[in-house]
A = this chain, B = another copy of it.
Amino acid sequence: MNRIFLILIIIGVPVSVVGSFLHWPPILMFILDCVTIVGLASFMGRATESLAIVAGPSIGGLLNATFGNAVELIISIFAIKAGLINVVLASITGSIIGNLLLVGGLSFFVGGLKYKRQRFNIYEARHNAGMLIFAIVVSFVFPLIFSMELGEADAKILSIGISIVMIIIYLAALFFKLVTHRGVYKQSADEAEHDGEEEPEWSAWKAITVLAGATIAVGYISENLVHTFEPVAKSFGWTELFIGVIIVAIVGNAAEHASAILMAYKNRMTVTVEIAIGSTLQIAMFVAPLLVLLSLAFPTFMPLIFSVPELIVMILAVFLTIAITNDGDTNWFEGAILLAAYLIMGFGFFLL
Q: Which residues of A contact B (CB under 8 A)?
A: 116-117, 123, 126, 129-134, 137-139, 141-142, 145-146, 149-150, 154, 157-158, 161-162, 165-166, 168-169, 172-173, 176, 180-181, 184, 308-309, 312-313, 316, 319-320, 322-324, 326-327, 329, 331-334, 336-337, 340-341, 343-345, 347-348, 351-352
Copies in the complex: 3
A337 in contact with B149 given A116-B184, A319-B137, A327-B123 (CB within 8 Å): no
Task: Please determine whether B158 and A117 come into contact, CB atoms closer than 8 angstroms.
Answer: no
Task: Please determine whether A158 and B319 come into contact, CB atoms closer than 8 angstroms.
Answer: no
A126 in contact with B316 given A158-B347, A158-B348, A348-B146 (CB within 8 Å): no
A141 in complex: contacting residue of B312, B340, B352, CB < 8 Å: B312
* A230 CB to nearest chain B CB (Å): 20
Task: Please determine whether A117 and B309 come into contact, CB atoms closer than 8 angstroms.
Answer: no
* A49 CB to nearest chain B CB (Å): 25
* A322 CB to nearest chain B CB (Å): 7
Alpha-carbon distance A149/B242, docked complex (angstroms) = 14
Alpha-carbon distance A116/B181, docked complex (angstroms) = 7
Task: Please determine whether B157 and A351 come into contact, CB atoms closer than 8 angstroms.
Answer: yes
Alpha-carbon distance A258/B336, docked complex (angstroms) = 34
Taking A126-B327, A130-B323, A142-B348 as given, write out 17 further A-B residue pairs in contact, using a Cβ cutoff of 8 Å, ordered by the A residue number.
A117-B184, A123-B329, A129-B323, A133-B316, A133-B320, A134-B320, A138-B316, A141-B316, A146-B351, A149-B352, A158-B348, A158-B351, A161-B344, A161-B347, A162-B344, A172-B336, A176-B332
Alpha-carbon distance A168/B123, docked complex (angstroms) = 33
A-B contact pairs, 25 of them (CB 8 A): A116-B180, A116-B184, A117-B184, A131-B337, A133-B323, A137-B319, A138-B316, A138-B341, A141-B312, A141-B316, A142-B316, A145-B308, A145-B309, A145-B313, A146-B309, A146-B352, A154-B351, A157-B351, A158-B348, A162-B344, A162-B347, A168-B340, A176-B331, A176-B333, A181-B333
Alpha-carbon distance A169/B326, docked complex (angstroms) = 20
A180 in complex: contacting residue of B137, B313, B332, CB < 8 Å: B332
B residues less than 8 Å from A344 (CB atoms) = 138-139, 142, 161-162, 165
* A351 CB to nearest chain B CB (Å): 5
Alpha-carbon distance A48/B142, docked complex (angstroms) = 38
Nearest 8 A-B pairs (CB), nearest first? Answer: A176-B333, A146-B348, A130-B323, A133-B323, A126-B327, A154-B351, A130-B324, A129-B323
Alpha-carbon distance A169/B133, docked complex (angstroms) = 26
Alpha-carbon distance A184/B173, docked complex (angstroms) = 36
Task: Please determine whether B312 and A145 come into contact, CB atoms closer than 8 angstroms.
Answer: yes
Task: Please determine whether A331 and B181 come into contact, CB atoms closer than 8 angstroms.
Answer: yes
